Structure 1
């Protein structure tokens, strides 16, 4: 499924969201490296970033293109062991974790920001989750204030801020969000 945001004359070029293809891995890693350099996401740079983007069971992964160039990425997966938001949502809604889908691996090329690409990617992941009868949730480190601001602008509900142990010597504060109903 492709989604394209059309533009009116004089507006910015359109952005197209499409399913991520095997051939996108190298460009995704290049964009992710730039995001990591500027924003520190992901907090822990993976040894194999291409595999990190595809790790675990995925319900789908999509990329955004602007003017024929890959400028963003998002994925959707079932809740994994380290995901806190599915548990919180299920406890707050009297449901089970398997009724959620985790939006993750979201990033936008710093040079392409300001064009609603992040919102478009999130919207695509939310639509996919809902088409499967799942409620979208996500976790984000508290230091990623720009991401948290985006989620809140889009109406996502902060369920809780919790501490999560990432290693024997490192605890990280995580904000857990649920998509609007």
Structure 2
């Protein structure tokens, strides 16, 4: 999948270290992820059961996205299945999307999301995702791409951390 000066390809094990460096830049600037993982490489890899992709700009990794089956803590699959009277097993969770600050505004996020959505559809699954409500830039991107807000829920991440989460489903 390509755009002007950039392209999306499957993530390899060799990419993980670079992805962690880009993720650290994103965390420092935007606070994503909200809680920095103890093992960020494992955090990226654990959510990639159906695939993971990186975006390159001028030969450098500048973005990442993963696709997986529903897991513990994922809220959108349950909302989607309740709404559609189907199993959560028919969803694929889009996650771990981040773009290096220097590469934003070039359509890379849309390319990555498009790749994950395509893979979900190939597998016969419906793409869904959770996003922290305070991440307004991500929510705006999903809405620009036609994703539907299914609901907003509170989720306790720790005894002292109650988060507001928006749950989205890709357009049918």
TM-score interval (norm. to shorter): over 0.9
- Stretches of 4+ moved more than 2 A in 1? none
- C-alpha RMSD of matched pairs (Å): 0.8
Equivalent positions of 1:16-31 (< 5 A) are 16-31=7-22
Give the secondary structure class of the aligned counterpart of 2:124.
coil
Q: Which residue of 1 aligns with 2:78?
A: 87
Q: CA deviation at 1:55?
A: 1.3
Kindly state the Cα deviation for residue 143 of structure 1 after the two structures are TM-superposed.
0.3
Alignment partner of 1:4 is 2:2? yes
Q: Which residue of structure 2 aligns with residue 131 of structure 1? A: 122
Between the two structures, name the one with larger relative contact order (CA 8 Å, sep ≥ 6): 2
TM-score normalized by structure 1?
0.93
Report 1:21-170 matches (<5 A).
21-56=12-47, 58-170=49-161
Paired residues, number: 172
Instruction: Report the structure number with the largest CA radius of gyration.
Output: 1
Aligned to 1:174: 165
CA–CA distance in structure 2, aligned partners of residues 55 and 129 of structure 1: 17
Alpha-carbon distance in 1 for matches of 2:87, 2:42: 28
Is the contact between residue 66 and residue 96 of structure 2 (CA under 8 Å) also seen in structure 1?
Answer: yes
Where 1:22 maps in the other structure, the secondary structure is coil
Q: TM-score, normalised by structure 2?
A: 0.98
Counterparts of 1:56 and 1:124, CA distance in 2: 15
1:4 Cα deviation from its structure 2 partner: 1.6
Compute the displacement of 1:128 (Å): 0.2
